[in-house]
């Protein structure tokens, strides 16, 4: 009825054309609306890490942690660093990674704790927590 009111009429031959509000004209498919299924298969073999991947990745991570500790910019993309850690953990390298990261944090605290010795009237007891474990107690 609206088509007649607006002066437009559709003939039977053009009824297969559908015009959208954005001006695009499509021909509806004769197939029913079946969706294609996406099948994701696991790798047949697990990809192997290169011989230097663990060491190279640790150097990147150590540099990034050092940059954070020294309030400087990080050379690497955070997503790249996250992916690197995820890869190492999936290859069961997480205990070694944890040990190395913990050592870097302890070394940083040891290097920074001496600046508080300038305050002789105050005694500081600094406790560093890492992953809910007490790393070390430093009594000045």
| Residues 6-16 pLDDT 10s | 555 555 555 55
d(CA 37, CA 34): 9
Residue 90, in any domain of the structure: yes
How much is the pLDDT for 28? Answer: 58
Residue 19, in any domain of the structure: no
Residue 75, in any domain of the structure: yes
Answer yes or no: is pLDDT of 37 > 80. Answer: yes
Domain count, the chain: 1
Residue 107, in any domain of the structure: yes
Residue 127, in any domain of the structure: yes
Answer yes or no: is pLDDT of 51 > 80. Answer: yes
* Residue 62 pLDDT level (bands cut at 50, 70, 90): very high
Average pLDDT over residues 109-113: 84
**What's the CATH code of the domain at 69?**
1.20.1310.10
Residue 23, in any domain of the structure: no
Residue 22, in any domain of the structure: no
How much is the pLDDT for 8? Answer: 52
Residue 37, in any domain of the structure: no
Closest CA to 58 of 104, 110, 109: 104
Domain that holds residue 60: 53-139
* Pair 125, 139: CB distance under 8 Å: yes
Answer yes or no: is pLDDT of 132 > 50. Answer: no
Answer yes or no: is pLDDT of 25 > 50. Answer: yes
Average pLDDT over residues 8-25: 53
pTM reported for the whole predicted model? 0.54
d(CA 4, CA 98): 75
How much is the pLDDT for 65? Answer: 95
Answer yes or no: is pLDDT of 19 > 80. Answer: no
Task: Choose the weakest-confidence range: 20-24, 63-67, 83-87, 91-95.
Answer: 20-24
């Amino acid at each position: 009825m609206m088509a007649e009111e607006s002066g437009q009429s559709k003939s039977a031959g053009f009824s297969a054309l559908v015009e959208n509000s954005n001006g695009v004209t499509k021909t509806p498919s004769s197939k029913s609306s079946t969706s294609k299924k996406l099948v994701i298969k696991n790798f047949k073999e697990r990809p192997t890490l290169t011989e230097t991947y663990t060491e190279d990745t640790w150097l990147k991570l150590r540099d990034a942690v050092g940059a954070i500790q020294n309030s400087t910019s990080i050379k690497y993309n955070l997503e790249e660093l996250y992916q690197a850690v995820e890869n190492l953990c999936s290859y069961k390298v997480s205990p070694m990674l944890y040990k190395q990261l913990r050592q870097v944090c302890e070394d940083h605290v040891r290097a920074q704790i001496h600046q508080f010795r300038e305050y002789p009237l105050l005694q500081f007891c600094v406790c560093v927590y890492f992953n809910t474990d007490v790393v070390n107690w430093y009594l000045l």
